[in-house]
Amino acid sequence: MTTKIPPDQIVIRPPVEAYSVLIAVSGGCSWNKCKFCGTYKGIYGSIQDYAILPLENVLKEIDFYAEKNYHGFPVFLAGGNPTSAPTDYLVKILEYVRLRMKNVQRISSYAKALDILRKSDEELTQLAEAGLDIVYMGLESGSSKILRFMKKGTNAESMIKAGKRILAAGIKLSLYILLGLGGKEFSDLHAKETARVLTEINPTIFRFRTLNILPSTPLWKEWEQGDFELLSPVECIKEERDIIAQLGENVTSQVFNDHVSNYVGIESSNIKEERDVFISYLDSLMNNPRIQSLPRKNLDRM
For ligand SF4, give the closer residue by CB, 10 or 291: 10
**Per rule CB under 6 A, is residue 139 in the interface with ligand SF4?**
no
**Per rule CB under 6 A, is residue 65 in the interface with ligand SF4?**
no
**Per rule CB under 6 A, is residue 298 in the interface with ligand SF4?**
no
Of 39, 216, 252, 298, the one binding ligand SF4 (CB under 6 A) is: 39
Q: Which has the closest alpha carbon to 238: 190, 197, 201, 273?
A: 190
- CB of 119 closer than 8 Å to CB of 85: no
Of 112, 165, 190, 196, the one binding ligand SF4 (CB under 6 A) is: 112
Segment contacting ligand SF4 (CB under 6 A): 28-36, 46-54, 117-125, 263-271?
Answer: 28-36
**Per rule CB under 6 A, is residue 160 in the interface with ligand SF4?**
no
**Per rule CB under 6 A, is residue 107 in the interface with ligand SF4?**
no
Greatest alpha-carbon span in the chain: 57
Helix (H, G, I), strand (E, B) or coil at 175: strand
Q: What is the arrangement of strands in the sheet containing 205-210, beginning at the earlier edge strand? A: 21-24, 75-78, 107-111, 134-140, 172-179, 205-210, 254-256
Amino acid at 88: D
**C-alpha to C-alpha distance for 25 and 8, rounded to whole angstroms:** 7
The 71-100 site mask, x for binding ligand SF4 (CB under 6 A), equals ---------x--------------------
**C-alpha to C-alpha distance for 236 and 240, rounded to whole angstroms:** 6
Segment contacting ligand SF4 (CB under 6 A): 24-32, 83-91, 195-203, 219-227?
Answer: 24-32
**Per rule CB under 6 A, is residue 32 in the interface with ligand SF4?**
yes
Size of the site for ligand SF4 (CB under 6 A): 9
Helix (H, G, I), strand (E, B) or coil at 210: strand
Residues contacting residue 251 through CB under 8 Å, at least 6 positions apart? 198, 199, 202, 271, 272
Q: Closest distance between ligand SF4 and the C-beta of residue 104, in Å? A: 25
User: Which residues are near ligand SF4 by CB under 6 A?
Assistant: 29, 31-32, 34, 37, 39, 80, 112, 138
